[in-house]
Amino acid sequence: MAWTFVQKLFGAKGSKGEAKNRLQVVLVYDRLGLSADQMDALRKDIMETISRHISIDPEGVKIDFQHEHSLPEVVINAPVRRRAAS
């Protein structure tokens, strides 16, 4: 963060970092080559698996691919439901 700021200040940092990062992310998707059907199946399996243990909002499950720390990774977000007061 601080370093990005210093670079901005001196106008040294161009846009190539952004290019590289966006490429790395899009290539995670491209290389997996998942179809819409396969993505749906993955989402469904994840929903079912988590729901067996904790109560989540099935509509809110999000699957993202990203490239962090030089590694491709899949990130799954599932909003946990508050237990209803009984």
Partner 1 sequence: MGGRAIVVTSGKGGVGKTTATANLGLGLAREDRKVVMIDGDIGLRNLDLIMGLENRIVYHLLDVVRGRCQVRQALIKDKRFPNLSLLPASQVDQKEDISPEQMRDLTAQLKEDFDFVLIDCPAGIEQGFRNAIAGANEAILITTPEVSPVRDADRVIGLLQQSIGDPRLIINRMNPEMVKKEQMLNQSDVLEILAVPLLGIVPEDEEVVIAGNSGAPVVLNERSRSGQAYRRIVQRILGEDVPIPELNGNVGFIQRLGKLFFGR
Q: Which residues bind partner 1 (CB under 8 A)?
A: 3, 6-7, 10, 12-17, 19-20, 22-24, 26-27, 30-31
Task: Give whichever of 19 and 74 is closer to partner 1, judged by the CB atom.
Answer: 19
Task: List Cβ neighbours of 61 (8 Å cut-off, separation of 6 or more).
Answer: 43, 46, 47, 50, 76, 77, 78, 79
Which residue's CB is nearer to partner 1, number 12 or number 36? 12
Q: CB-wise, 17 or 60, nearer to partner 1?
A: 17
Which residues have CB under 8 Å from 32's CB, separation 6+? Answer: 65
